[in-house]
Every structure is written in C-alpha cells, then in structure tokens.
Amino acid sequence: MSSEAPLEELGSPSLVELALDRIRRDILRGVFAPGERLVEEQLTRRFGISRAPVREALRQLGEQGLVEHLPRRGVRVCELSARDMTELFGLRDALERFAVDEMFAGSGRRDPARLARLQRATERIERAAADDGEGAAVDRAEAHREFHLALVGLAGHRHLVRVFEPVILQLQLYMATNMRREAEQRSPAEGARRHCRLYEAVVAGDRAAVLDALAHHGGRAYLGPELHEQ
C-alpha cells in the first residue's frame, strides 16, 4: 500500500489526471516492471479511488505506449525489445531533425516563452546531474524528456508534439534504468554538458551546430550492448 495520501483527499479537479500521473510515475520509477500486470482493483486500493478514473488513466497510458491492453488478460506494462528501441530512437532522431527544420524555417527559436521553457529544462538537467540521491536516475530521465519535448516544441507544430511525446515516453521506460548503467561509465555531468551545448547552439541560431549536437547527442549510450548488436 502506498504511503502517499489517497487521491480523493488531494482536492484536484481531475482524479483521472492524478491517477495518470501516479501510475505513469510508478512505471517510470520501476515500481511496476516491464511485463507486469496492472490490476484495476489493486490500483484502486493503492490510490484510494474508484475504478472509473483508474480505468481511464490506463486507457490513456495505452495511447502513450506505456501499457498494453491484452484481450482477456488485462493490462500490463509494455515490454520493448532491442528492435523496438532501435526503431524508437530512429523515429526520435527523424522527428527532431524535422523539428529543427521547422524551427529555423519559422520563428520558433526566437519565441521567448518557448526558449525560456528550453532554458528551464536545461537547468533542470544540470540540477539532476548534481543529485546522487535516491531516485536521481529517474529524475534525470524525466529532465531529459522535458528537454526534448521543449526542443521539439520550438517548432511551434502542435501535431508534431503529439506524435513525439509518446515516442519519448516509451524511450524513458528504459532510459531511467540504463542511465544508471551510463552513470557507472561516465559522470552524469557529461550528459548535462551535452544538453547545454545543444541549448547554446539553439540560442546562437546555428542550425548546423544544432544538427551536429543532435547527431552526437549519445542517446543510445543509455542502452546496453544488446541494442547495438541488432
């Protein structure tokens, strides 16, 4: 049973949003492992709410690619193969390059509000890199997701963001775990510096430097050798 307060005591206007946030956070923290079944009755007891918001939250998580609904077998956390990850990284790369093209074709990188969001995400990555406490790896993964969403958001393309978000969410499933592996090989500060260089290239308005920074971003370094062998 979770030690957190029941959702119905939190006073939020949307129990669905709160249930969605709690379940998604637990999946990305590894509380629910890939392949593990998510039972509605157990979730309602864990969070202290009725089934309706839990069921809707699971439906939305299915749309985001974090859970899958199996006929007559319920819901389970998605398991992604090495091939899945290779394809997702390839899709992320293609979408980000498209976002950069859209950004420099329009006024995205000069939009103060969008650029401020990218700056905040960059600063969050730096703070997360300096944290070595419990849950630090998950915090770094969430900061990484926020950064890339902000980067793509500079394009000012609503539909692109809608397509991109589930891709980066699914990558976060494994990145949270594999950032621990990367941390054993090199300092988290190195990852923070990579993101800072990317941010600085955007601010400078240097399209070639942005694309070069993305090409050498090192996202696949979060994954084990089994991915690279595919």
Q: Where are the beta strands (DSSP E) in the chain?
A: 37-38, 67-70, 74-77
HSE-up of residue 169 (Cα within 13 Å, Cβ side): 20
Q: What is the pLDDT of residue 107?
A: 67
Q: What is the mean pLDDT of the chain?
A: 82
> What pTM was computed for the model?
0.77
Which tokens belong to 20?
Answer: 């969605």
53-89 residue pLDDT tens: 999 999 999 998 899 999 888 999 998 888 888 899 9
pLDDT confidence band for 179 (50 / 70 / 90): low
pLDDT (mean) for 22-41? 88
- Identical topology for domains 9-77 and 82-228: no
pLDDT confidence band for 13 (50 / 70 / 90): very low
User: Domain 9-77: which topology?
Assistant: Arc Repressor Mutant, subunit A (1.10.10)
Q: How many helices (H) and strands (E) does the chain have?
A: 10, 3
82-228 belongs to CATH 3.40.630.10: no
Q: How far apart are CA 154 and CA 114, in angstroms?
A: 6
Domain ranges of the chain: 9-77, 82-228
Percent of the chain scoring above 70 in pLDDT: 80
Q: What is the pLDDT of residue 144?
A: 87
Q: How far is CA 65 from the centre of its chain?
A: 11
Least confident window among 38-42, 84-88, 113-117, 177-181: 177-181
Alpha carbon of 95 to those of 32, 60, 152, 162, 224: distances in Å?
A: 29, 22, 8, 11, 23
